[in-house]
Chains A and B, each alone.
Chain A
Amino acid sequence: MIPVLHLVMLAVILGVSFITIFLMVFERDLLKMIVLSAAQSTFYAIVLYILLVPDVVLAYIAVAVGIYTALLMFAVKKTERFEEA
Chain B
Amino acid sequence: MRVTGLIAAISILIVLFALAYGLVVLGISGPPAPVKLRLLGEKYLYYMINPATKYFTAESPEGVSAILWDYRGLDTLYETMVLFGAIIGAILVYREYLYSEPRKTGKIYGLSHIVRTVSKIIIWLTIIIAVAFGFTGQITPGGGFIGGAAFAVAPVLLVLVYTLGYARRLGLTHRRALLLRASFLLLLLLVIVTPLIAGGYIFQNQAKPGSAFSFPGRFIDSTPLGGSIFFLNLFELFAVAGAFTVAFILLGVIASLKEGE
The chain A residues found within 8 Å of chain B, CB to CB, are 2, 54-55, 57-59, 62-63, 66-67, 70-71, 74, 77-78
Contacts and interface: CB of A to CB of B under 8 A. Distances in A.
A71 B251 contact: yes
Contacts of B146: 55, 58-59, 62
Identify which of B35, B149, B251, B254 gathers the most chain A CB atoms within 10 Å of its CB.
Answer: B149
Contacts of A78: 254-255, 258
Contacts of A59: 145-146, 149-150
Given A55-B143, A74-B254, A62 B160 contact: no
Contacts, number: 44
Contacts of A77: 255
A70 B149 CA distance: 14
B142 interface: yes
Interface string B154-183: 001001100000000000000000000000
Given A74-B254, A78-B255, A62 B145 contact: no
B153 interface: yes
7 contacts: A55-B146, A59-B149, A62-B146, A62-B149, A66-B152, A67-B156, A71-B156
A55 B145 CA distance: 10
Given A62-B150, A62-B153, A78-B258, 12 more contacts: A57-B141, A58-B133, A59-B149, A63-B152, A66-B152, A66-B153, A66-B156, A67-B149, A67-B153, A67-B156, A70-B160, A78-B254
* Interface of B (DSSP majority class): helix
Of A54, A55, A63, A70, chain B has the most CB atoms within 10 Å of the CB of A55
B64 interface: yes
B40 interface: no
B47 to A, nearest CB: 19
B153 A58 contact: no
B93 interface: no
Contacts of B152: 62-63, 66-67
Residue of B141, B146, B150, B258 with most partner-chain A CB within 10 A: B146
A74 B133 contact: no
Contacts of B156: 66-67, 70-71
Interface string B80-110: 0000000000000000000000000000000
A58 B145 CA distance: 10
Interface in B119-164: 133, 141-143, 145-146, 149-150, 152-153, 156, 159-160
A71 B250 CA distance: 12
B254 A55 contact: no
